[in-house]
Amino acid sequence: MGWCGYYALAETPSKFEEFDKWIRRRLRMCMWKQWKLPRTKVRKLISLGVPDHKAYEWGNTRKNYWRISKSPILSRTLGNSYWSRLGLKSLYQRYEFIRNT
């Protein structure tokens, strides 16, 4: 149960949604940082379905990792479905499950 079960007693679904958003953004930032080189970023973005010109534009950006993690390109390509396919569990869904049982 843990703290998710503890907070299920209160009406706090928005906090769990905020945690989920922050966790996904942090994971996008780590993934972007892991790709390191611009050519790797471009190649990975293209493999995720981003058009070539946009992948080149975003792969060669000088913006910092945290700022890029909120960009529309990464938010769409590394969205909820991507992370759920990799096995990331949603805190909000867990909260709802505990609330309803």
d(CA 62, CA 26): 18
Task: Give the pLDDT confidence score for residue 53 in this predicted structure.
Answer: 96
Q: What is the pTM of this model?
A: 0.86
Both tokens assigned to 52: 């070539």
Task: Give the pLDDT confidence score for residue 51 in this predicted structure.
Answer: 96
Both tokens assigned to 94: 């867990």
Characterize 47-76 residue by residue with b for buried, 16 or more Cβ atoms within 10 angstroms of its Cβ, and e for exposed: eeebeeeebbebbeeeeeeeebbeeebbee
Which SS3 state, helix, strand or coil, does residue 98 take? Answer: helix
Both tokens assigned to 20: 């989920």
User: pLDDT tens string for the chain (101 positions)?
Assistant: 576 666 666 677 788 899 999 999 999 999 999 999 999 999 999 999 999 999 999 999 999 999 999 999 999 999 999 999 999 999 888 888 887 87
